[in-house]
Structure 1
Amino acid sequence: MSDDHTPLDGKTALVTGASSGIGHATARLLARDGADVALAARREERLNEIADGIEAEYDQRALVRPTDVSDEEQVTAAIDAATEAFGGLDVVVANAGINREGTVEEIPTERYRSLMGVNVDGAFFTARAAIPALRESEGVLIFVGSFAGQYPRPAQPIYAASKHWVRGFALSLAGSLGAENVGVTIVNPTEVDTEIGIQDDRPAHERFTDVDSATPEAVAEAIAFAARQKPPNVVAELDFYRRNKFSNWTRDADRGGK
């Protein structure tokens, strides 16, 4: 297959939250584009299924690393294992995230800490562990943010706060790491049909009947686009939304979603 069809030929990647939704779709697209992929998430059995599918369909290596991104040691071990197995890392996608709804007065402290542990600590631990390898490869670090990190979310203040943190962190890293030839991108989707609303197992199109949600595959295409940029080019920020829903966010978005 020609380089035109495999723009990431010879490259390596790691994706967190790879067992479902955007992470799963991203891992598949990066493999489609020619990259070997390390899959990091908590559900080992599901990761093994995805790895088998990637290897069978795209003939790319897929490394499974069961990982809770809120655990610093597990994140470091996953990055180290991928770097050793692949001989380096060119793309790291900090995608893992959860959404636990509740007002400030109602949300239990344990639930608050769980959300911040995954969304904030997980992004930080992933970036910190990945930077040395990405500096070596002049690679790219991609964060999955949210429109909730740009606009108020009255119904989800904790989730919104976590995504505002991720956006500030990503844009600040872009400034500091750019001088070291490491690209940093944040992709901000609106509502996506994923499992992120873990208190409710229904997909987004059922939980939010009036929301025209995007597919994980569509968001993954935006992430793959960022991953394909060749140094010194980099896309700093990509906002991904449905054409007919942008005004909902800029006006007074108050529904759940990533």
Structure 2
Amino acid sequence: MVEDSSLEKVHREDIDKRVAVVTGGSLGIGEAVSTRLLGLGWQVHVLARRPEAYSLAGHPSCHLHSVDVRDADALGDAAASINETSGLVDALILCAGVGYPTPLADASREQYAELFDTNVAGTIFAAKAFAPVLRNGLAVVVVVSSIAGRRGYADWSLYCAAKHALEGFVASIRDELRHRRIRVTSIQPGSVDTPSYAHLAPKEKTEFIDPVSVADLMVSAIQLPPQASIEILFVNNAVGDL
């Protein structure tokens, strides 16, 4: 039997120590992708305002961090702590977000602040906090955007504006991190059956996408060989825009 080369050994060690950070990791798409990665043997750090709500909070490879992504200092502290205990990060998955309709006539400063602080600033400062501890040449950043980052919807103007801003940020850091061979993916799903739609009756969500389906696509992007990158992944509802 031919022994592994030193390069192959290093690569195998890297794979054995794969570390993921998931913001908004206790619910919805974040919960689904955290669970998928735990099942694949990753060390998963779940950042959320209520991380104890995560269904696999007691998993030996799951690490919980009570963090509100609107708090840049808390994100910086989490990044330092994770780097100290787990080393470099191989996948940064930014799922934290909030969304609800905001008809223009009723749009308020408070709604604007919540939607932009969570969806835009939360993503920006999470990326800033963790960028220094991403593994060069292998790491992948996945940002959960939305079909609302591609087009506008009546009565959802503030949410759509936030997601359009998010797409501009993602496109920019994709080029900024490219020299480190860090890949950046924006996933743009249509309507997904997440807690944001808990107010709808089940029959109103029969055509919604299952969060697990979105998570599987995200994991596929993460697991590509380092020479390949999915930069934008749009997955719509089969019946069209919802």
TM-score, normalised to structure 1, is 0.82
TM-superposed deviation, 1:112: 1.6
TM-superposed deviation, 1:226: 1.2
Q: Residue 40 of structure 1: which of 24, 32, 47 is its match?
A: 47
Asked if residue 217 in structure 1 is aligned to residue 224 in structure 2, the reply is no
TM-superposed deviation, 1:8: 5.5
Residue 133 of structure 1 corresponds to which residue in structure 2? 133
Q: Residue 18 of structure 1: which of 14, 25, 36 is its match?
A: 25
CA pair 156-51 structure 1, distance change in 2 beyond 3 A: same
Residue 79 of structure 2 corresponds to which residue in structure 1? 79
TM-superposed deviation, 1:205: 4.0
Query: Would the aligned equivalents of 1:99 and 1:115 in 2 still touch at CA under 8 Å?
Result: yes
CA pair 204-165 structure 1, distance change in 2 beyond 3 A: farther
Query: Would the aligned equivalents of 1:192 and 1:204 in 2 still touch at CA under 8 Å?
Result: no
TM-superposed deviation, 1:100: 2.9
Larger displacement relative to structure 2 (95-104 or 140-149): 95-104
Residue 180 of structure 1 corresponds to which residue in structure 2? 180
Bigger Rg, structure 1 or 2: 2
TM-superposed deviation, 1:72: 0.5
Residue deviations 1:129-150 (CA, integer Å, cap 9, x gap): 1111115464111100100100
Residue 93 of structure 1 corresponds to which residue in structure 2? 93
Residue deviations 1:150-198 (CA, integer Å, cap 9, x gap): 011112001011111111111221122112211100111000000125x
Residue deviations 1:21-44 (CA, integer Å, cap 9, x gap): 000000011111221000000014
- Segments of 5+ residues of structure 1 without an aligned counterpart are 1-6, 56-60, 250-254
Larger displacement relative to structure 2 (111-120 or 128-137): 128-137
- Percent of residue pairs identical: 28
Q: Residue 236 of structure 1: which of 219, 231, 240 is its match?
A: 231
Query: Would the aligned equivalents of 1:187 and 1:239 in 2 still touch at CA under 8 Å?
Result: yes
Residue deviations 1:2-60 (CA, integer Å, cap 9, x gap): xxxxx95421000011111000000011111221000000014314x5221x43xxxxx
Distance 1:210 1:217 in 2: 15
Query: Would the aligned equivalents of 2:83 and 2:133 in 1 still touch at CA under 8 Å?
Result: yes
Asked if residue 108 in structure 1 is aligned to residue 115 in structure 2, the reply is no
- Segments of 5+ residues of structure 2 without an aligned counterpart are 1-13
Distance 1:34 1:50 in 2: 14
Count of aligned pairs:
229
Distance 1:8 1:231 in 2: 12
Q: Residue 38 of structure 2: which of 2, 23, 31 is its match?
A: 31
TM-superposed deviation, 1:204: 7.2
RMSD (Å) for aligned C-alpha atoms: 2.0
TM-superposed deviation, 1:211: 6.0
Distance 1:157 1:172 in 2: 23
Residue 56 of structure 2 corresponds to which residue in structure 1? 50
Larger displacement relative to structure 2 (94-103 or 128-137): 128-137
Distance 1:177 1:119 in 2: 21
TM-superposed deviation, 1:102: 1.6
Query: Would the aligned equivalents of 1:8 and 1:34 in 2 still touch at CA under 8 Å?
Result: no
Residue deviations 1:196-255 (CA, integer Å, cap 9, x gap): 25xxx425745xx2761001100000111111122132111111123222xxx3xxxxx5
CA pair 99-230 structure 1, distance change in 2 beyond 3 A: same
Distance 2:205 2:53 in 1: 31
Query: Would the aligned equivalents of 1:120 and 1:165 in 2 still touch at CA under 8 Å?
Result: yes
TM-superposed deviation, 1:92: 0.4
Distance 2:201 2:139 in 1: 33
Residue 4 of structure 2 corresponds to which residue in structure 1? none
Query: Would the aligned equivalents of 2:193 and 2:205 in 1 still touch at CA under 8 Å?
Result: no
The amino acid of 1:143's aligned partner reads V
The amino acid of 2:33's aligned partner reads T
Asked if residue 68 in structure 1 is aligned to residue 68 in structure 2, the reply is yes
